[in-house]
Amino acid sequence: MTIDPRSHTPVYVQLADLLRQRIKSGDFPPGSALPSEARLTQEYGIGREAVRMSISLLRTEGLVNTVRGHGSHVRDAPERRQIELLAGGSVIARMPTSAERRTMQLNEGVPVIEVHDAHGAVEVFPGDEVELTRPEQD
Amino acid sequence: MTIDPRSHTPVYVQLADLLRQRIKSGDFPPGSALPSEARLTQEYGIGREAVRMSISLLRTEGLVNTVRGHGSHVRDAPERRQIELLAGGSVIARMPTSAERRTMQLNEGVPVIEVHDAHGAVEVFPGDEVELTRPEQD
DNA sequence: GTACATTTGTGCGTATGTATG
DNA sequence: TCATACATACGCACAAATGTA
């Protein structure tokens, strides 16, 4: 599968689809580096902006991380610690505020989980590190 | 507060901070339109790319929606329907896959909630429309 | 410690396409 | 029809971070 500049779907979406597939197929396993922007630009005969937009898309999907001067790497499947949702509690998912992003050191494309307990207290957790559970009755 | 091109923080981050503050302060209430790209470009004397990146940032944070040919608008605080997390169930938050984005018609910056029940079945919900609850014991 | 190549970040200019009103 | 506005895409340039020789 290649990229068709005359297609109705944008070039950067086509490239993102292509890279996403190569990640899923194991062509780019977790931890591995994606080709550099310059490499992808040449490889597919497209502009750098299209390349950057496609990688940005993958970042916001939580699939890759990018480090300036280093490159983009496929994220590892996160380990999640289990947290019990107590009786009378509730939980919502949302994107972090910019302040939360900084203080919790969250990557792009990582939501937060907001837990409200029975007394109105609120706690916020990184969405890629926790799994909320409700135990079986016993 | 204005924008300083000589600052170490990127222009587009400065503008995003500024717009975010104006949204939070009620200067741009939910449903209202942000100034157009051209307007912001002139207003702050910065390039179009910086303007676009700042708005893109606000989109991925779930703060605004952008409609081509129309502009960017502040999102309304979502109504959430309550769903009970059953005994033996668990829940994680993550960003949707591209396929999920399409089929569930999710905006940018909207996570999904993945609910696993006691029997291993999985259900996925839009993160901006649901609130998971565990009822009080009675 | 220094120098260098590589890689991503930021920014500008330009052009064309497409949706809205 | 027309103006406005956002989307995509290319080119170029320089800055800043990284890793290595």
Stretch B21-46: mean pLDDT: 81
Instruction: Give the alpha-carbon dihedral of A78, A82, A60, A98, to 10 degrees.
Output: -120
Kindly give the pairing relationship between strand B130-133 and strand B81-84: parallel
Residue B8 is classified by DSSP as: S
d(CA B66, CA B74): 9
A138 pLDDT more than 70: no
A19 pLDDT more than 80: yes
Q: What pLDDT digit, counting tens, does each position of A81-127 carry?
A: 999 999 999 999 999 988 898 899 999 999 999 999 999 999 999 99
| Complete domains list, chain A, with CATH | 11-74 (1.10.10.10), 81-133 (no CATH)
Contacts A–B by Cβ distance under 8 A? 107
Q: Are the Cβ atoms of B94 and A135 closer than 8 angstroms? A: no
Stretch B16-26: mean pLDDT: 86
B35 in contact with chain A, both atoms CB, cutoff 8 A: no
Assigned token pair, A62: 């939580």
Residue B1: how many other CB atoms lie within 10 Å: 8
pLDDT at B81: 96
Question: Please, which residues 43-72 of chain A have a Cβ atom closer than 8 Å to chain B?
Answer: 60-62
Instruction: Tell me the average pLDDT of chain B.
Output: 85
Q: Are the Cβ atoms of B85 and A127 closer than 8 angstroms? A: no
Q: What pLDDT digit, counting tens, does each position of B75-101 carry?
A: 888 789 999 999 999 999 999 988 898
Assigned token pair, B115: 């609910």
The answer to whether B132 and B101 are in contact (CB under 8 A) is: no
B130 in contact with chain A, both atoms CB, cutoff 8 A: yes
Partner residue opposite B90 with nearest CB, options A86, A132, A137: A132
